[in-house]
Amino acid sequence: MSDPWQQFKALPWRSLVPTGVLVALMAALFDTGIYYIASTVAAVREVLIILLQPPLALLIRLGLSMGLGMVAVLSLEAWFNPAPIYSGTLWALFLCVLVASGVLSFFSAALGLRAVFFPLTDVFLIGSAIGIFWQGRRYWRY
């Protein structure tokens, strides 16, 4: 039998961790930028009020989280060129994005970051997992 801990240690962490941090920073900067733009421009504020109403907010946050997961896989493939990507690598990428987002949300008050579209909720977790595995579907069977 194969040792799961050995497989976990053998993942390309030097590519996965920077990818997770990069994606979490992109989401935090996007959210903070939208927040500060909306606080100064009244038209943007009105559009955000309409977009963040209950039925539409769920779909928008889910869609943006899926897009963020897709960006994570694309950035892993393009910039951080790891060893061959497998389904375990995609799970590790999801873990890295989750941990980096959790750390950023924990220190968000000290860093002055605001979560508008990417708060660390179940919608973010589901959307980013769907986005990562949707974009990385060609790596599932390995």
Q: DSSP string spanning 12-61?
A: -HHHHHHHHHHHHHHHHHHHHHHHHHHHH-HHHHHHHHHHTSHHHHHHHH
- Written as tens digits, the pLDDT of the chain (142 aa) is 477 888 888 888 999 999 999 999 999 999 999 999 999 999 999 999 999 998 899 999 999 999 999 999 999 999 887 778 888 999 999 999 999 999 999 998 888 888 888 989 999 999 999 999 999 998 876 5
pTM of the prediction? Answer: 0.91
8 within some domain: no
Residue 142, pLDDT score: 53
Per the structure, the complete domain to which residue 19 belongs is given by 13-139
Q: How many CB atoms lie within 10 A of CB 69?
A: 27
- Examine residue 5 and state whether it is found in any structural domain, yes or no: no
The answer to whether residue 26 is domain-embedded is yes
32 in a structural domain: yes
Residue 7: inside a domain: no
Structurally, the chain folds into a number of domains equal to 1
What number of other Cβ atoms are within 10 A of residue 92's Cβ? 22
| Structural domain contains residue 121 | yes
Assess if residue 4 is contained within a domain.
no
Q: Residue 1: inside a domain, yes or no?
A: no
